[in-house]
Amino acid sequence: MKTYDIEITAKAYEDMDRVYTYIADELLEPVIATNQYDRIADAILTFDIMPDRIKIMDSEPARSKGLRPLLVDNYTVLYTIETDTVYIARVLYSSSDISAKLAEE
């Protein structure tokens, strides 16, 4: 079975740091913040095998960028597949306007 490398972009790392900081500092729940961060990281690591199991998003601009969404609790991990590498592009709160955030980039 083919395996893929996984690369997390600087923007996705920033997103994950924001998730952790919000839960730990604003909601004052550092244990929950750590658990949430770990669940997102663990989900990302599953992309080493069959990352194409999730289809490309239908909405623009995500579709033209080839972004695929993986839901992890209340967050959406957006990623692309290029040759043998999965690129983690963003980690966004699922209830936010994801299309608007992507259009800003």
Q: Which residue has the higher pLDDT, 26 or 94?
A: 26
- Report the CATH number of the 5-94 domain: 3.30.2310.20
Residue 35 to residue 32: CA distance in whole angstroms: 5
Please give the residue that has the higher pLDDT: either 15 or 97.
15
Tens-place pLDDT, residues 32-80: 999 999 999 999 999 999 999 999 999 888 899 999 999 999 999 999 9
Residue 56 to residues 36, 51, 100, Cα–Cα distance (Å): 25, 11, 17
Q: What is the pLDDT of residue 65?
A: 92
Q: Per residue in 16-45, pLDDT tens?
A: 999 999 999 999 999 999 999 999 999 999
Query: Residue 78: how many CB atoms within 10 A of its CB?
Result: 24
Three-state secondary structure call for residue 70: strand
